[in-house]
A and B are shown apart, each in its own frame.
Chain A
Amino acid sequence: MTRTLGWLVVLALVAGLVMGFLVAPRDAAQGNVQRIMYVHVPSVLVAYLAFAVVLLASIVYLTTRRESADRIGHASAEVGVLFTGITIASGAIWGKPTWGTWWTWDARLTSVAVLFVMYLGYLLVRGMVDDRERAARYSAVVGIVAALDQPPTMLKPGPSTMPGVFAATLLVNLAALALVYVFLVTKRVALLRREEEALA
Chain B
Amino acid sequence: MSYARRAWIVLWKDALAERRSKEALNALFFFTLLLLFIFQFTLGGDRERLTDALPGLLWLGFVLSGLVGLGRAFLTERDHDCWEGLLLSPGDKSAIYLGKLAGNLLLMLLVEAIMLVLFGVFFNLDVGRHLPALAGVVVLGTVGFAAVGTLFAAMTAQVRARELLFPVLLLPVLVPVLLGSVKATEAVLAGEGLGGVTHWLKLLAAADTVYVAVGVLTFDAILEG
- Judge whether A137 and B224 touch: CB under 8 Å: yes
Q: Is A170 an interface residue (CB 8 A)?
A: no
- Those of B170-214 within 8 Å (CB) of chain A: 172-173, 175-176, 203, 210-211, 214
Given A114-B175, A128-B159, check contact A141 B222 (CB 8 Å).
yes
A142 to B152, CA, bound (A): 8
A62 to B175, CA, bound (A): 26
Q: Is A117 an interface residue (CB 8 A)?
A: yes
Q: Is B40 an interface residue (CB 8 A)?
A: no
Q: Is B151 an interface residue (CB 8 A)?
A: yes
- Judge whether B218 and A62 touch: CB under 8 Å: yes
Chain B residues near A62: list those with CB within 8 A: 218, 221
- Those of B125-182 within 8 Å (CB) of chain A: 148, 151, 155, 158-161, 165, 168-169, 172-173, 175-176
Chain A residues near B120: list those with CB within 8 A: none
Q: Is A124 an interface residue (CB 8 A)?
A: yes
Q: Is B225 an interface residue (CB 8 A)?
A: yes
Contact with A along B39-80 (1 / 0, CB 8 A): 000000000000000000000000000000000000000000
- Counted as pairs of residues, one from A and one from B, with CB atoms less than 8 Å apart, the total is 62
A144 to B169, CA, bound (A): 13
- Judge whether B176 and A149 touch: CB under 8 Å: yes
Pick the residue among B158, B161, B203 that contacts A151 (CB under 8 A): B203
- Judge whether B160 and A128 touch: CB under 8 Å: yes
Chain A residues near B168: list those with CB within 8 A: 121, 124
Interface size class of A (residues with CB under 8 A): 20 to 34
Chain B residues near A137: list those with CB within 8 A: 221-222, 224
Select from chain B the residue with minimum beta-carbon distance to A138.
B155
Pick the residue among A110, A128, A130, A134 that contacts B225 (CB under 8 A): A134
A121 to B210, CA, bound (A): 20
- Judge whether A148 and B214 touch: CB under 8 Å: yes
A114 to B172, CA, bound (A): 6
Select from chain B the residue with minimum beta-carbon distance to A58.
B218
Q: Shortest Cβ distance from B87 into chain A, in angstroms?
A: 13
Given A124-B168, A128-B160, check contact A140 B173 (CB 8 Å).
no
A110 to B224, CA, bound (A): 35
Q: Shortest Cβ distance from A130 into chain B, in angstroms?
A: 8
- Judge whether B203 and A144 touch: CB under 8 Å: no
Chain A residues near B151: list those with CB within 8 A: 141, 145
Pick the residue among A110, A129, A144 that contacts B218 (CB under 8 A): A144
- Judge whether A118 and B173 touch: CB under 8 Å: yes
Pick the residue among A117, A134, A144 that contacts B158 (CB under 8 A): A134
A128 to B165, CA, bound (A): 8
A146 to B225, CA, bound (A): 21
A85 to B25, CA, bound (A): 41
A117 to B173, CA, bound (A): 9
Chain B residues near A117: list those with CB within 8 A: 172
A146 to B211, CA, bound (A): 10
Q: Is A56 an interface residue (CB 8 A)?
A: no
Of A110, A121, A141, A142, most B-chain CB atoms within 10 Å = A141
Given A125-B169, A128-B160, A142-B169, check contact A148 B155 (CB 8 Å).
no
Contact surface of B with A, Cβ cutoff 8 Å: 148, 151, 155, 158-161, 165, 168-169, 172-173, 175-176, 203, 210-211, 214, 218, 221-222, 224-225
Further contacts, 13 of them, CB under 8 A, given A121-B165, A128-B160, A141-B218? A118-B172, A124-B165, A125-B165, A128-B159, A128-B165, A129-B158, A137-B221, A137-B222, A138-B155, A144-B218, A146-B173, A148-B214, A149-B176
